[in-house]
Amino acid sequence: MADEPDNSWRVRQSVTAALPVALLLLLALALFAGCKSFPAKAGYLRVDDDKVVFIQWTQEGTQIKGTIDMVGRTPDNEITTFLAVYDGVLDGEKFSMITKSVRTSHGGDEKPGEKIIGRLKGGTLTLFIDEGDYEPKEFRRAAPAEFAEASRNLQMRAKMNKGAY
Quick: pLDDT tens for 88-127: 999 999 999 999 988 888 776 667 888 999 999 989 999 9
The predicted model scores a pTM of 0.71
Q: How many CA atoms within 13 Å lie on the side-chain side of 5?
A: 3
Whole-angstrom Cα distance, residue 51 to residue 73? 6
- Using the predicted structure, report yes or no on whether residue 25 has a pLDDT greater than 70: no
Tell me the domains of the chain and their CATH numbers: 41-160 (2.40.128)
Average of per-residue pLDDT values in the chain: 79
Query: CA torsion sign, 74 to 79 to 80 to 83?
Result: positive
